[in-house]
Amino acid sequence: MANGLGGTARSWREMREWQAGLLERATGRALDDWMREVRADAPEDEPELRAWLAERGVTGYAQMLVVFERLGYPDFFLSTADELVDAQFADRVELRPVFDALLASLPGIGDVTVQARKTYVSLLTPRRTFAVVAPVTRTRLDLGMRWPEAPESPRLSPAGSRLGGGATIKVGLRRMEELDDEVLGWMREAYATNE
């Protein structure tokens, strides 16, 4: 669904449908079938439920769906993408124009899907996440990219854990001028690497 975030942002309902499709493709069984088995046989404790699902080959987004269906969805998951992003920038208004410009550049990067989370925004190729954007301080927005062969640059540093496990490298952005041709080129390379 297109919205104020640019690119294509999935609502939680669309995300649920996508995850249900992943579950069925990975296991050959529909969500309803899994939920009947979960209610009958699975533990109700989240770590035990996740382990039980992993033993049966249900991992990643498909596992997250089954856990949420069983134990309940967190409030932030039911929020719209715009609501989540607005909350991220509520006390960081100076960074919002940088974020908006980054999203406006996405059509030049590729077929990007935007997934807003509680504290960050994921950018996905049709295959997987290639970048993550997060306002990490009141004065800095980090753009993390999944890029195993990143170039040497004083602007780049290791992503760390705050941007999620997929990001390998990051660049900090404080002002619009820092979202330059070099950064956009890195984004195109990261996209191509993960396409």
* 23-66 pLDDT per residue, tens: 999 999 999 999 999 999 999 999 999 999 999 999 988 999 99
What is the pLDDT averaged over residues 159-166?
77
**Can you give the pLDDT at residue 170?**
94
Lowest-confidence pick of 76-85, 167-176, 178-187? 76-85
85 and 174 within one domain: yes
Is the domain of 114 the same as that of 59?
no
- On the question of pLDDT at 2 being above 50, the answer is no
Q: What is the pTM of this model?
A: 0.72
Q: Are 63 and 142 within one domain?
A: no
Q: Judge if 103 and 142 occupy the same domain.
A: yes
E-strand spans in the chain? Answer: 8-9, 113-116, 121-124, 129-135, 141-145, 156-158, 169-173
Look over the chain and give the mean of its residue pLDDT values, rounded to a whole number: 89
Task: State whether 171 and 91 are in the same domain.
Answer: yes
**pLDDT of amino acid 70:** 95
- Residue range(s) defining the domain that contains residue 153: 80-194
Pairing of strands 169-173, 141-145: antiparallel
Model pLDDT, residue 35: 96
Mean pLDDT of 76-92: 87
One domain for residues 104 and 167: yes
Q: Which residues of 83-114 are buried (b: 16+ CB within 10 A; e: fewer)?
A: ebbeebbeebeebbebbbebbebbeebbebbb
Number of folded domains that form the chain? 2
pLDDT at 5: 54
pLDDT at position 1 is 35
Where do we find the tokens 């940088």?
Answer: 98
Instruction: Say how far apart CA 59 and CA 65 lie, in whole Å.
Output: 10
Q: Tell me what percent of the residues of the chain surpass a pLDDT of 70.
A: 93
Please tell me whether residues 129 and 92 are part of one structural domain. Answer: yes
pLDDT at 182 (0 to 100): 96
61 lies in the same domain as 95? no
Calculate mean pLDDT across residues 121-126. 89
pLDDT band at 189 (very low <50, low <70, confident <90, very high): very high
Predicted local confidence at residue 112, as pLDDT: 92
Q: How do strand 121-124 and strand 156-158 relate by DSSP bridges?
A: unpaired
| 126 shares its domain with 49 | no
Which among 164, 92, 180 has a CA at the least distance from the CA of 121?
Answer: 164
